[in-house]
Chains A and B, each alone.
Chain A
């Protein structure tokens, strides 16, 4: 077995063990949310970490997945499993339309372009009340079921989400260790050189943007059918920032870093509740301090500090 396969088996075992041992429904819900956030972080990591293209509007695709499926099932009575491909398709179409002009931009301009897109989608969720329920939110999204298995049961939903996460990990890892994945990393390192070895950088950037959007929409679908109530605030600019933060803190260009980043950022508010009014102060401080001290993300940062201390000891 390769190292990757071993890690998948361990991951699988960890999911099953957690699912069987855990009793408390609150924790089930929290860990399921971590799973959904891991998907989001993974989606953005493919774009930001590997291809080096920032998006400050990824919550938009998350929201498009959630709202499309929510509206189709609750308002139009679709079966959720029929609504899912519709939601993914819509996210893909929008990603193509928006990505085509936006991905020409670089640096801050790309950040601002994606931010503007995210804001507009958020405003649509908030203002198009006849369809989306407006600022007060959208209710009555049905739970998922397959045959007789109802995913209303938190344990089942936990398994569903985490198996999707495991599958996505495998897919992304395969994608990265391929011709396409190398080309993505090439774009990140030097776009000029990538063109010079014959990579159609525009095309590839668009493809990975679309892939990332679809994966985010999938996360949105899972979120909507878990919570059954969605509101625009779950897909605001701050959420986009949170996704970027998960990727960066967990570690750019690291699949397992997405898991770490999503876990930390999802748990953080839970821990910060103890600070109550200090929550924002502490959150902002953590973002700044992590970025100043280990700009390459916590995973790499910790490894580096460990290696440095080891080599320092070795010298002594």
Chain B
């Protein structure tokens, strides 16, 4: 099989086992509500890590801290040996953190291919003058952007839809498109906010396969999920949050057998 150009597997696989993202006793409060309290965990390169917990456990807050939307009140977030606190969202993408949204935020007025082309923003250069003058290197870059977009689309399995307007796609495909767009930035880590939400069982299974395939390319995944089935199936390790605190961490099997985790989930029935 031909090596995909857009992902540099060797480099990243060498680092497998290293700690890529380190969350160090991070706290965050909103008004009087303590959304996170001294949460710590590591994300090893090359693994799929799941972040689960009942509603209000602080999953989304943690997600937003890592992606730069909020700043932690206390604690540190270290990515690739750099403290990323206070970095702007777009800067983090440059460092290699890509994300998807819970409610799918694609660029609806653009075609599917264009969405993935925009996704390559951080690893392309041409700006205002390049666009106006159409110098040869800019035209070359534009061709590369297109080829990469097609390659990524076929990796995800929606290359046939390249010319469709993205807002007209069914929801499941939009989700795949969003993942394709995130991959286009050539990330080291991909953060997925409830990727299975709104998908039916078949689609969820396909998504699981795709995520495994992405892992094989050497990309680390952090997956926030409300629903346990996908997480248990594909994650290497799982962190459980409850009421802003870390409740447990371990392999899916360990988590399933953990009494306090089960209590947290059963207790949420009210």
Contact = CB atoms under 8 A, between A and B. Distances in A.
A in complex with B: yes
A17 B181 CA distance: 47
Interface in A180-205: 180-183, 185-186, 188-190, 192-201
A97 interface: no
A23 interface: no
B18 interface: no
Given A189-B107, A196-B89, A196-B105, A182 B132 contact: no
Given A196-B67, A197-B122, A198-B121, A174 B105 contact: no
A9 interface: no
B236 interface: no
A253 to B, nearest CB: 7
Contacts of A171: 132
A175 B134 CA distance: 10
Nearest to B187: A198
B109 A189 contact: yes
Contact of A183 (B88, B89, B98, B121): B121
Interface stretch (B27-35, B76-84, B111-119, B220-228): B111-119
B94 interface: yes
A311 interface: no
A174 B124 CA distance: 17
Given A178-B126, A179-B145, A199 B107 contact: no
B254 to A, nearest CB: 33
Q: How large is the interface on B (under 10, 10 to 19, 20 to 34, 35 or more residues)?
A: 35 or more
A199 B92 CA distance: 10
A246 B131 CA distance: 26
A199 B185 CA distance: 11
A247 to B, nearest CB: 16
Contacts, number: 97
A199 B128 contact: no
Contacts of B110: 182, 185-186, 189
B136 interface: no
Contacts of B124: 179
A180 B182 CA distance: 18
A155 interface: no
B101 A182 contact: no
B105 A190 contact: yes
B185 A197 contact: yes
B105 A179 contact: no
A207 interface: yes
B32 to A, nearest CB: 26
A211 B108 CA distance: 25
Nearest to B126: A179
B106 interface: yes
Contacts of B99: 196
Contacts of A253: 109
A211 B93 CA distance: 26
A200 B128 contact: no
**Which one of B114, B128, B184 has the highest number of Cβ atoms from chain A below 10 Å of its Cβ?**
B128
A179 B109 contact: no
Contacts of A194: 107, 118
Contacts of B119: 197
Given A179-B145, A189-B107, A196-B67, 16 more contacts: A175-B128, A177-B131, A178-B142, A179-B130, A180-B127, A180-B131, A182-B118, A186-B107, A186-B118, A190-B108, A196-B98, A196-B101, A197-B98, A197-B118, A197-B182, A199-B118
23 contacts: A171-B132, A174-B132, A174-B134, A178-B142, A179-B126, A179-B131, A179-B141, A182-B118, A185-B109, A186-B110, A189-B106, A189-B109, A190-B105, A192-B105, A193-B106, A196-B93, A196-B98, A197-B185, A198-B90, A198-B121, A199-B121, A201-B90, A253-B109
Interface of A: 171, 174-175, 177-183, 185-186, 188-190, 192-201, 207, 211, 253
> Which 7 pairs across A and B sit closest by C-beta, in order of nearness?
A198-B93, A178-B131, A198-B122, A193-B105, A189-B107, A195-B89, A190-B105
